[in-house]
Amino acid sequence: MQTKYLFAESLGVFGGSLAFTALGLLLGLGGDPLTLALLAALPYLALPFDLLSGLLLDRLDRRALLLAGVWVRAGLLLLLALLPKEPLFVLPLAFLFQAVLALDLPAWHALLVRLARGRLEREGGRLQAAQLLGDSLGDLLAPPLLLLAKPLPFALGGLLLVAEGLLLRGLPAFPPPKEAKEEGVGPKALLAGVGFLLADKRLLPLTLYALALNLLSTLGLALLPLLALEGGVPPALYGLYPLGLSFGGFLGSLLAGSVGPGLGIWGGHGLRLLGLAALFLPFPLGLLGLFLVGAGGSLSGVHLRAYRQRLAPEALLGRVQAGAIALTSAASLLGALLAGILGGLGAGLPLGLAVLGLFLLLPLALGSLHPRQLEALRREGG
Protein backbone atom coordinates (compact mmCIF):
# COMPACT_ATOMS: atom_id res chain seq x y z
CA MET A 1 0.00 0.00 0.00
CA GLN A 2 1.61 3.25 -1.14
CA THR A 3 1.95 5.95 1.49
CA LYS A 4 0.16 8.55 -0.64
CA TYR A 5 -3.00 6.43 -0.69
CA LEU A 6 -2.86 5.97 3.08
CA PHE A 7 -2.45 9.74 3.40
CA ALA A 8 -5.47 10.28 1.14
CA GLU A 9 -7.63 7.95 3.23
CA SER A 10 -6.46 9.72 6.37
CA LEU A 11 -7.57 13.06 4.92
CA GLY A 12 -11.00 11.71 4.06
CA VAL A 13 -11.53 10.23 7.52
CA PHE A 14 -10.35 13.54 9.00
CA GLY A 15 -13.10 15.31 7.09
CA GLY A 16 -15.81 12.89 8.19
CA SER A 17 -14.60 13.01 11.79
CA LEU A 18 -14.79 16.82 11.85
CA ALA A 19 -18.43 16.67 10.84
CA PHE A 20 -19.59 13.85 13.10
CA THR A 21 -17.72 14.98 16.21
CA ALA A 22 -19.27 18.41 15.73
CA LEU A 23 -22.72 16.84 15.40
CA GLY A 24 -22.19 14.81 18.57
CA LEU A 25 -21.23 17.89 20.54
CA LEU A 26 -24.20 19.87 19.21
CA LEU A 27 -26.64 17.16 20.24
CA GLY A 28 -24.83 16.54 23.53
CA LEU A 29 -25.25 20.19 24.48
CA GLY A 30 -28.95 19.72 23.77
CA GLY A 31 -29.01 17.05 26.49
CA ASP A 32 -31.41 14.57 24.80
CA PRO A 33 -30.18 10.94 25.26
CA LEU A 34 -32.50 9.53 22.58
CA THR A 35 -31.28 11.98 19.91
CA LEU A 36 -27.67 11.23 20.83
CA ALA A 37 -28.34 7.50 20.60
CA LEU A 38 -29.94 8.03 17.18
CA LEU A 39 -26.81 9.77 15.95
CA ALA A 40 -24.69 6.90 17.28
CA ALA A 41 -27.02 4.44 15.54
CA LEU A 42 -26.86 6.10 12.10
CA PRO A 43 -23.87 4.08 10.83
CA TYR A 44 -25.68 0.88 11.76
CA LEU A 45 -29.02 1.87 10.23
CA ALA A 46 -27.19 1.72 6.89
CA LEU A 47 -27.10 -2.09 7.14
CA PRO A 48 -28.94 -2.70 3.81
CA PHE A 49 -26.39 -0.47 2.08
CA ASP A 50 -23.57 -2.54 3.55
CA LEU A 51 -25.01 -5.62 1.85
CA LEU A 52 -25.57 -3.78 -1.41
CA SER A 53 -22.04 -2.42 -1.40
CA GLY A 54 -20.60 -5.93 -1.19
CA LEU A 55 -22.65 -7.05 -4.19
CA LEU A 56 -21.54 -4.01 -6.19
CA LEU A 57 -17.89 -4.56 -5.25
CA ASP A 58 -18.08 -8.14 -6.57
CA ARG A 59 -19.66 -6.96 -9.84
CA LEU A 60 -18.03 -3.63 -10.74
CA ASP A 61 -14.60 -2.06 -10.66
CA ARG A 62 -13.75 -1.55 -6.99
CA ARG A 63 -11.55 1.48 -7.64
CA ALA A 64 -14.38 3.31 -9.45
CA LEU A 65 -16.83 2.59 -6.63
CA LEU A 66 -14.34 3.75 -4.01
CA LEU A 67 -13.83 7.07 -5.80
CA ALA A 68 -17.56 7.59 -6.41
CA GLY A 69 -18.23 7.19 -2.70
CA VAL A 70 -15.58 9.78 -1.82
CA TRP A 71 -17.02 12.41 -4.17
CA VAL A 72 -20.62 11.90 -3.00
CA ARG A 73 -19.62 12.18 0.67
CA ALA A 74 -17.72 15.38 -0.07
CA GLY A 75 -20.87 16.89 -1.57
CA LEU A 76 -23.00 15.87 1.42
CA LEU A 77 -20.69 17.56 3.92
CA LEU A 78 -20.59 20.76 1.89
CA LEU A 79 -24.40 20.72 1.86
CA LEU A 80 -24.45 20.21 5.63
CA ALA A 81 -22.38 23.36 5.99
CA LEU A 82 -25.14 25.37 4.31
CA LEU A 83 -28.18 23.98 6.18
CA PRO A 84 -29.51 25.03 9.61
CA LYS A 85 -27.91 22.92 12.33
CA GLU A 86 -31.15 21.31 13.53
CA PRO A 87 -31.68 17.52 13.87
CA LEU A 88 -34.46 17.63 11.25
CA PHE A 89 -31.94 18.77 8.63
CA VAL A 90 -28.63 17.27 9.68
CA LEU A 91 -29.63 13.73 10.69
CA PRO A 92 -31.03 12.66 7.26
CA LEU A 93 -27.89 13.93 5.49
CA ALA A 94 -25.71 12.28 8.10
CA PHE A 95 -27.53 9.02 7.39
CA LEU A 96 -26.91 9.38 3.64
CA PHE A 97 -23.23 9.98 4.38
CA GLN A 98 -23.08 6.72 6.32
CA ALA A 99 -24.94 4.86 3.58
CA VAL A 100 -22.39 5.93 0.94
CA LEU A 101 -19.54 5.25 3.37
CA ALA A 102 -20.57 1.57 3.19
CA LEU A 103 -18.48 1.33 -0.01
CA ASP A 104 -15.26 2.51 1.60
CA LEU A 105 -14.08 -0.17 4.03
CA PRO A 106 -15.05 -3.29 1.99
CA ALA A 107 -13.26 -1.83 -1.05
CA TRP A 108 -10.06 -1.17 0.91
CA HIS A 109 -10.17 -4.58 2.62
CA ALA A 110 -10.59 -6.38 -0.70
CA LEU A 111 -7.71 -4.38 -2.14
CA LEU A 112 -5.43 -5.45 0.73
CA VAL A 113 -6.08 -9.14 0.04
CA ARG A 114 -4.81 -8.70 -3.50
CA LEU A 115 -1.77 -6.57 -2.60
CA ALA A 116 -0.64 -7.99 0.74
CA ARG A 117 -2.12 -11.42 1.44
CA GLY A 118 0.88 -12.52 3.49
CA ARG A 119 1.04 -9.26 5.44
CA LEU A 120 -2.62 -8.61 6.21
CA GLU A 121 -2.14 -7.78 9.89
CA ARG A 122 0.68 -5.34 9.11
CA GLU A 123 -0.93 -3.63 6.12
CA GLY A 124 -4.40 -3.75 7.65
CA GLY A 125 -2.95 -2.13 10.75
CA ARG A 126 -1.28 0.59 8.67
CA LEU A 127 -4.54 1.34 6.87
CA GLN A 128 -6.50 1.45 10.11
CA ALA A 129 -3.81 3.60 11.73
CA ALA A 130 -4.06 6.09 8.84
CA GLN A 131 -7.83 6.19 9.26
CA LEU A 132 -7.61 6.66 13.02
CA LEU A 133 -4.98 9.38 12.69
CA GLY A 134 -7.43 11.35 10.58
CA ASP A 135 -10.18 10.52 13.04
CA SER A 136 -8.06 11.80 15.93
CA LEU A 137 -7.41 15.12 14.21
CA GLY A 138 -11.11 15.56 13.54
CA ASP A 139 -12.00 14.77 17.15
CA LEU A 140 -9.49 17.33 18.40
CA LEU A 141 -10.35 20.20 16.07
CA ALA A 142 -14.11 19.83 15.64
CA PRO A 143 -15.24 21.38 18.98
CA PRO A 144 -13.23 24.63 18.74
CA LEU A 145 -14.14 24.99 15.04
CA LEU A 146 -17.82 24.44 15.86
CA LEU A 147 -17.73 27.02 18.65
CA LEU A 148 -16.03 29.45 16.27
CA ALA A 149 -18.62 29.01 13.52
CA LYS A 150 -21.17 26.19 13.20
CA PRO A 151 -20.71 25.62 9.42
CA LEU A 152 -16.90 25.50 9.68
CA PRO A 153 -16.25 21.81 10.55
CA PHE A 154 -18.70 20.66 7.87
CA ALA A 155 -17.26 22.86 5.12
CA LEU A 156 -13.68 21.91 5.96
CA GLY A 157 -14.67 18.24 6.11
CA GLY A 158 -16.11 18.41 2.61
CA LEU A 159 -12.95 20.04 1.24
CA LEU A 160 -10.77 17.35 2.82
CA LEU A 161 -12.84 14.66 1.09
CA VAL A 162 -12.37 16.50 -2.20
CA ALA A 163 -8.61 16.32 -1.58
CA GLU A 164 -8.88 12.58 -0.92
CA GLY A 165 -10.66 12.04 -4.22
CA LEU A 166 -7.96 13.90 -6.11
CA LEU A 167 -5.16 11.86 -4.50
CA LEU A 168 -6.86 8.50 -5.09
CA ARG A 169 -7.24 9.00 -8.83
CA GLY A 170 -3.95 7.16 -9.36
CA LEU A 171 -5.24 3.89 -7.90
CA PRO A 172 -5.08 1.07 -10.46
CA ALA A 173 -8.25 -0.47 -11.86
CA PHE A 174 -9.51 -3.25 -9.63
CA PRO A 175 -12.07 -5.39 -11.51
CA PRO A 176 -13.85 -8.27 -9.75
CA PRO A 177 -13.25 -11.93 -10.71
CA LYS A 178 -15.09 -13.37 -13.70
CA GLU A 179 -17.04 -15.95 -11.69
CA ALA A 180 -18.58 -13.24 -9.50
CA LYS A 181 -19.79 -11.26 -12.51
CA GLU A 182 -21.53 -14.36 -13.87
CA GLU A 183 -23.75 -14.75 -10.79
CA GLY A 184 -27.27 -13.43 -10.58
CA VAL A 185 -28.27 -10.38 -8.56
CA GLY A 186 -31.12 -11.77 -6.45
CA PRO A 187 -31.42 -12.05 -2.66
CA LYS A 188 -29.24 -15.19 -2.62
CA ALA A 189 -26.35 -13.32 -4.21
CA LEU A 190 -26.94 -10.28 -1.98
CA LEU A 191 -26.74 -12.37 1.20
CA ALA A 192 -24.01 -14.76 0.05
CA GLY A 193 -21.33 -13.06 2.14
CA VAL A 194 -23.40 -13.16 5.31
CA GLY A 195 -24.28 -16.78 4.57
CA PHE A 196 -20.61 -17.69 4.26
CA LEU A 197 -19.74 -16.05 7.58
CA LEU A 198 -22.52 -17.93 9.39
CA ALA A 199 -22.07 -21.28 7.61
CA ASP A 200 -18.28 -21.63 7.63
CA LYS A 201 -17.43 -23.59 10.77
CA ARG A 202 -13.97 -22.03 10.93
CA LEU A 203 -15.30 -18.47 11.01
CA LEU A 204 -18.56 -18.88 12.94
CA PRO A 205 -17.08 -18.62 16.48
CA LEU A 206 -15.09 -15.53 15.44
CA THR A 207 -18.16 -13.99 13.80
CA LEU A 208 -20.35 -14.49 16.88
CA TYR A 209 -17.59 -13.15 19.12
CA ALA A 210 -17.22 -10.03 16.94
CA LEU A 211 -21.00 -9.45 17.13
CA ALA A 212 -20.92 -9.59 20.92
CA LEU A 213 -17.95 -7.19 21.06
CA ASN A 214 -19.68 -4.63 18.85
CA LEU A 215 -22.97 -4.79 20.74
CA LEU A 216 -21.29 -4.31 24.13
CA SER A 217 -18.85 -1.62 22.96
CA THR A 218 -21.63 0.48 21.43
CA LEU A 219 -23.80 -0.03 24.51
CA GLY A 220 -21.00 1.43 26.61
CA LEU A 221 -20.00 4.30 24.30
CA ALA A 222 -23.26 5.48 22.69
CA LEU A 223 -23.83 8.09 25.41
CA LEU A 224 -20.20 9.24 25.53
CA PRO A 225 -21.02 12.98 25.22
CA LEU A 226 -23.30 12.75 28.27
CA LEU A 227 -20.78 10.66 30.21
CA ALA A 228 -18.03 13.17 29.42
CA LEU A 229 -20.10 16.21 30.34
CA GLU A 230 -21.30 14.56 33.56
CA GLY A 231 -17.65 13.76 34.30
CA GLY A 232 -16.84 17.46 34.32
CA VAL A 233 -15.24 18.02 30.91
CA PRO A 234 -15.65 21.61 29.61
CA PRO A 235 -17.57 21.58 26.30
CA ALA A 236 -14.63 23.14 24.44
CA LEU A 237 -12.46 20.19 25.55
CA TYR A 238 -15.00 17.45 24.79
CA GLY A 239 -12.99 16.49 21.69
CA LEU A 240 -10.31 15.05 23.98
CA TYR A 241 -12.64 12.10 24.72
CA PRO A 242 -13.13 10.85 21.15
CA LEU A 243 -9.51 11.88 20.52
CA GLY A 244 -8.40 9.46 23.24
CA LEU A 245 -10.45 6.71 21.59
CA SER A 246 -8.98 7.42 18.16
CA PHE A 247 -5.38 7.84 19.33
CA GLY A 248 -5.57 4.60 21.29
CA GLY A 249 -6.92 2.92 18.17
CA PHE A 250 -4.06 4.40 16.14
CA LEU A 251 -1.43 2.85 18.41
CA GLY A 252 -3.33 -0.44 18.65
CA SER A 253 -3.46 -0.65 14.86
CA LEU A 254 0.29 -0.17 14.54
CA LEU A 255 0.88 -2.84 17.20
CA ALA A 256 -1.40 -5.39 15.52
CA GLY A 257 1.16 -6.52 12.96
CA SER A 258 3.74 -7.24 15.66
CA VAL A 259 1.76 -9.72 17.79
CA GLY A 260 0.18 -13.09 17.18
CA PRO A 261 -3.58 -13.66 16.93
CA GLY A 262 -3.99 -14.93 20.51
CA LEU A 263 -2.40 -11.86 22.07
CA GLY A 264 -4.00 -9.62 19.48
CA ILE A 265 -7.56 -10.79 20.11
CA TRP A 266 -7.50 -11.52 23.83
CA GLY A 267 -5.08 -8.75 24.73
CA GLY A 268 -7.39 -6.38 22.88
CA HIS A 269 -10.35 -7.77 24.79
CA GLY A 270 -8.65 -7.11 28.13
CA LEU A 271 -7.74 -3.55 27.19
CA ARG A 272 -11.30 -2.85 26.06
CA LEU A 273 -12.71 -4.22 29.33
CA LEU A 274 -10.36 -2.14 31.49
CA GLY A 275 -11.00 0.94 29.37
CA LEU A 276 -14.77 0.83 29.67
CA ALA A 277 -14.49 0.37 33.43
CA ALA A 278 -12.19 3.42 33.62
CA LEU A 279 -14.87 5.61 32.00
CA PHE A 280 -16.54 5.83 35.40
CA LEU A 281 -13.62 8.01 36.51
CA PRO A 282 -14.05 11.83 36.32
CA PHE A 283 -12.26 14.11 33.87
CA PRO A 284 -9.36 13.97 33.12
CA LEU A 285 -8.86 10.39 34.43
CA GLY A 286 -11.64 9.10 32.21
CA LEU A 287 -9.51 9.92 29.18
CA LEU A 288 -7.34 6.89 30.00
CA GLY A 289 -10.41 4.70 29.54
CA LEU A 290 -11.02 5.94 26.02
CA PHE A 291 -7.37 5.35 25.13
CA LEU A 292 -7.53 1.73 26.35
CA VAL A 293 -10.85 1.05 24.61
CA GLY A 294 -9.50 2.39 21.33
CA ALA A 295 -6.24 0.43 21.56
CA GLY A 296 -8.00 -2.80 22.47
CA GLY A 297 -10.67 -2.44 19.82
CA SER A 298 -8.17 -1.83 17.04
CA LEU A 299 -5.78 -4.56 18.16
CA SER A 300 -8.43 -7.27 18.17
CA GLY A 301 -10.30 -5.82 15.18
CA VAL A 302 -7.33 -6.06 12.81
CA HIS A 303 -6.79 -9.73 13.69
CA LEU A 304 -10.47 -10.67 13.46
CA ARG A 305 -10.73 -9.02 10.05
CA ALA A 306 -7.58 -10.78 8.77
CA TYR A 307 -9.27 -14.15 9.29
CA ARG A 308 -12.19 -13.08 7.11
CA GLN A 309 -9.83 -11.74 4.46
CA ARG A 310 -7.74 -14.93 4.30
CA LEU A 311 -10.56 -17.46 4.37
CA ALA A 312 -13.07 -15.76 2.03
CA PRO A 313 -13.23 -17.04 -1.59
CA GLU A 314 -12.15 -14.45 -4.18
CA ALA A 315 -15.59 -14.38 -5.79
CA LEU A 316 -17.17 -13.55 -2.40
CA LEU A 317 -14.46 -11.21 -1.16
CA GLY A 318 -16.43 -7.98 -1.39
CA ARG A 319 -19.59 -9.52 0.01
CA VAL A 320 -17.83 -11.24 2.91
CA GLN A 321 -16.17 -7.97 3.96
CA ALA A 322 -19.41 -6.01 3.54
CA GLY A 323 -21.44 -8.80 5.15
CA ALA A 324 -19.22 -8.72 8.23
CA ILE A 325 -19.75 -4.97 8.48
CA ALA A 326 -23.52 -5.47 8.10
CA LEU A 327 -23.64 -8.09 10.85
CA THR A 328 -21.54 -6.07 13.28
CA SER A 329 -23.56 -2.97 12.38
CA ALA A 330 -26.75 -4.79 13.35
CA ALA A 331 -25.20 -5.73 16.69
CA SER A 332 -23.97 -2.18 17.24
CA LEU A 333 -27.37 -0.77 16.31
CA LEU A 334 -28.95 -2.91 19.00
CA GLY A 335 -26.34 -1.66 21.47
CA ALA A 336 -27.01 1.98 20.57
CA LEU A 337 -30.77 1.61 20.85
CA LEU A 338 -30.45 -0.15 24.21
CA ALA A 339 -28.21 2.66 25.40
CA GLY A 340 -30.79 5.23 24.35
CA ILE A 341 -33.55 3.41 26.24
CA LEU A 342 -31.55 2.61 29.36
CA GLY A 343 -29.88 6.02 29.38
CA GLY A 344 -33.09 7.55 30.69
CA LEU A 345 -32.28 5.81 33.97
CA GLY A 346 -28.75 7.22 34.00
CA ALA A 347 -25.92 7.46 31.50
CA GLY A 348 -23.79 5.10 33.61
CA LEU A 349 -26.24 2.16 33.45
CA PRO A 350 -25.48 1.11 29.84
CA LEU A 351 -21.76 1.46 30.56
CA GLY A 352 -21.98 -0.80 33.59
CA LEU A 353 -23.86 -3.46 31.64
CA ALA A 354 -21.24 -3.31 28.88
CA VAL A 355 -18.41 -3.90 31.39
CA LEU A 356 -20.27 -6.88 32.85
CA GLY A 357 -20.91 -8.35 29.40
CA LEU A 358 -17.26 -8.12 28.35
CA PHE A 359 -16.22 -9.82 31.59
CA LEU A 360 -18.65 -12.71 30.94
CA LEU A 361 -17.13 -13.23 27.45
CA LEU A 362 -13.67 -14.02 28.86
CA PRO A 363 -14.27 -17.80 29.25
CA LEU A 364 -14.20 -18.05 25.44
CA ALA A 365 -10.42 -17.76 25.73
CA LEU A 366 -10.46 -21.24 27.30
CA GLY A 367 -12.83 -22.75 24.75
CA SER A 368 -13.47 -22.37 21.03
CA LEU A 369 -11.24 -19.30 20.67
CA HIS A 370 -8.20 -20.62 22.52
CA PRO A 371 -4.95 -18.96 21.28
CA ARG A 372 -3.62 -22.29 19.95
CA GLN A 373 -6.71 -22.73 17.81
CA LEU A 374 -6.45 -19.16 16.56
CA GLU A 375 -2.84 -19.71 15.49
CA ALA A 376 -3.71 -22.96 13.68
CA LEU A 377 -6.55 -21.27 11.82
CA ARG A 378 -4.26 -18.42 10.78
CA ARG A 379 -1.79 -20.90 9.25
CA GLU A 380 -4.63 -22.62 7.42
CA GLY A 381 -5.65 -19.35 5.76
CA GLY A 382 -2.12 -18.78 4.42
Helix (H, G, I), strand (E, B) or coil at 151: coil
How many structural domains is the chain composed of? Answer: 1
What is residue 96's predicted lDDT score, i.e. its pLDDT?
87
Q: Are 20 and 90 in contact (CB under 8 A)?
A: no
Residue 179: inside a domain, yes or no?
no
Please check whether residue 122 lies inside any domain of the structure.
yes
User: Is residue 33 one of the residues assigned to a domain?
Assistant: yes
3-state DSSP of 267-285: HHHHHHHHHHHHCCCCCCC
Q: Are 324 and 308 in contact (CB under 8 A)?
A: yes
Does 78 fall in a domain? yes
Q: Is 69 contained in some domain? A: yes
The reply to whether 252 falls in a domain is yes
Distance, CA of 174 to CA of 43 (rounded, Å): 26
At 207, which helix (H) or strand (E)? Answer: helix 204-221
Supply φ then ψ for residue 191, to 5 degrees.
Answer: -100, 10
Q: Are 210 and 198 in contact (CB under 8 A)?
A: no
In this predicted model, what pLDDT tens digit does every residue of 231-271 receive, in sequence order?
A: 777 777 777 777 788 788 888 888 888 888 888 889 999 99
**pLDDT by 10s per residue, the chain, length 382:** 678 888 999 999 999 989 888 887 777 666 566 666 777 777 767 777 877 888 888 788 888 888 999 999 999 999 988 877 676 677 788 888 888 888 888 888 777 777 666 677 787 888 888 888 888 788 778 888 888 888 898 999 999 999 999 998 888 777 776 666 566 667 777 788 888 888 888 888 888 999 999 999 989 888 887 877 777 777 777 777 777 887 888 888 888 888 888 888 899 999 999 999 988 888 778 788 888 999 999 899 888 888 888 888 877 877 888 888 888 888 888 888 888 888 778 778 888 999 999 999 888 877 778 888 878 777 766 6
Q: At what angle do helices 348-361 and 204-221 cross, to 10 degrees?
A: 160
pTM (global) more than 0.75 = no
User: What is the C-alpha separation between 261 and 328, in angstroms, rounded?
Assistant: 20
| 275, part of any domain | yes
Distances (CA, A) of 2 to 33, 72, 125: 42, 24, 14
Do the Cβ atoms of 263 and 342 come closer than 8 Å? no
Q: What percent of the chain has pLDDT over 70?
A: 91
CATH of the domain at 338: 1.20.1250.20
Q: Are 219 and 338 in contact (CB under 8 A)?
A: yes
- Residue 315: predicted pLDDT: 78
**Do 19 and 152 form a contact (C-beta atoms < 8 A)?**
no
Asked whether residue 233 is assigned to any structural domain, the reply reads yes
Which residue segment(s) compose the domain that 122 sits in? Answer: 3-163+189-381
pLDDT per position as a tens digit, 18-35: 988 888 777 766 656 666
